[in-house]
Copies of this chain bind each other. A is one copy, B any other.
Amino acid sequence: MNLNALFPSNLVGSILTAVVIALVTWLVYTISKGMINRMVEHKLKNQDENNARFNTLSSLLKSIAGYVLFFVALVMILGEFGVNTSAIIASAGIIGLAIGFGAQGLVSDIVTGFFILTENQVNVGEYVTIGGYSGVVEETGLRLMKVRGVSGDLHFIPNREISSLTNHSRGNMQALVDIRIAYDSDVNQAIQILQKRCDELREQLPQLVEGPNVLGVQDLGSSDVVIRILARTENGEQWAVERELRKELKLALEQADFESPFPHQAILLQKK
């Protein structure tokens, strides 16, 4: 059977066919809009804050569906009136590819952004490192992320630029301090003094989750011996703990009369 058979093969019939095509297209468009709404709602039901973003997503999808359906219906109606449509389709294809290349980045942004959001990789307010920029997330968007750097700068990072991503706000952090003593000092005694002070600090600093412990001799420098101390703290407290450890452990060694680990040099005086 052929749709054309419904109507007499003349101008009136062609117009009738065109009207049918237009009606069906309008019907399909209405259904598509409903489906898009439901689909977007479904994916986002537990992300209340993202309303604005996904309104954008849903209206973007609807626009695309509308333009595509309009083009298909137009070509079919023109064909109904005997127009040779191959030139139109070819032109549309080339323009479509051109726009496609240009919009490729946009598609890539949206796809990547979608996964970052639904996989809960970052939340607003977390401290992250993304695409070489570190800072606190201010806004996560469909197309880009706004990250406030520590210095106050505002970074705009298109989602496509984000490959691997580091989130610094999940779980306890490590505090690591290297204490140097003079090369000729008594290493065993230094370790004892440091460990004793570490044990006292554990009581005084409530942010400490684990340690601090003296690991041992990390490096034999050219004029000093490096002793490493490690602790684990609550998230965000690692820098404060490190600063406190540095000050207190240095004082502990000073009180025990350890020599300062200045660079040493042996000099041979030669006569000219």
Contacts and interface: CB of A to CB of B under 8 A. Distances in A.
Interface of A: 1-7, 9-11, 13-14, 17, 21, 64, 68, 71-72, 75-76, 79-108, 110-112, 115, 119, 121, 129, 131-133, 143-144, 148-158, 161, 163-168, 170-174, 176, 179-180, 183-184, 187-188, 215-220, 222-223, 225, 228, 232, 235, 238-240, 243-244, 246-247, 250-251, 260-272
Q: How many copies of the shown chain assemble into the complex? A: 7
Contacts of A250: 187, 217, 220, 225
A179 B132 CA distance: 28
Contacts of A243: 215-218, 228
A152 B251 CA distance: 28
Contacts of A149: 166
Contact of A105 (B111, B171, B246, B263): B111
12 contacts: A68-B95, A72-B88, A90-B93, A100-B101, A152-B171, A155-B166, A216-B240, A217-B247, A260-B264, A264-B266, A265-B267, A266-B268
